[in-house]
Structure 1
Amino acid sequence: MNAHTALVDRYFDTWNETDASRRKELIAATWASDATYADPLLSAQAHDGIDAMIRAVHERFPQHTFRRTTAVDSFADRLRFSWELSTPEGVSIIKGSDFGQVDASGRLQTVTGFLDEAPAAA
Structure 2
Amino acid sequence: MTDFTDLAQRYIAAFNESDDATRHDRIAGLFTPEATYTDPMAAVAGHDGIAGFVGAARTQLAGFEFRLLGPVDAHHDQARFRWEAGPTEVLDGPGDAPVIGFDVVVAGDDGRIAAVHGFLDAVPAA
The normalised TM-score by structure 2 is 0.89
SS at match of 2:119: strand
Q: Once the 2 structures are TM-superposed, how far is the Cα of residue 108 of structure 1 from its aligned partner?
A: 0.5
CA distance in 2, matches of 1:47, 1:36: 9
Q: One-letter code of the match for 1:5?
A: T
SS of match in other structure, 1:55: helix
Percent identical residues: 35
Render the CA deviation track for 1:60-85: whole Å, top value 9, x for unaligned.
11121111101110001011000101
Give CA-to-partner distance per residue, 1:78-109, whole Å, 9 cap, x none: 11000101124325111111111000111001
Count of aligned pairs between the two proteins: 120
Give CA deviations for 1:23-68 in whole Å, capped at 9, x if unaligned. 1111011111000111111221100001110111111111211111
How far apart in 2 are the matches of 1:60 and 1:119?
12
The correspondence for 1:113, drawn from 87, 111, 118, is 118
Instruction: Please tell me the root mean square deviation across aligned C-alpha atoms, in Å.
Output: 1.3
Question: What is the match of residue 102 of structure 1?
Answer: 107
Query: Does 74-83 or 36-45 show the bigger shift?
Result: 36-45
- Unmatched segments (≥5 aa) in structure 2: 92-96
After superposition, residues 12-23 of structure 1 pair within 5 angstroms as 12-23=12-23
SS of equivalent to 2:36: strand
- Between the aligned partners of 1:77 and 1:53, the Cα distance in structure 2 is 24
The reply to whether residue 61 of structure 1 matches residue 66 of structure 2 is no
1:44 aligned residue: 44
Partner of 2:5: 5
1:73 is aligned to 2:98: no
Distance in 2, matches of 1:51 and 1:119, equals 23
| Partner Cα distance (1:57, 1:119) in 2 | 14
TM-score (norm 1): 0.92
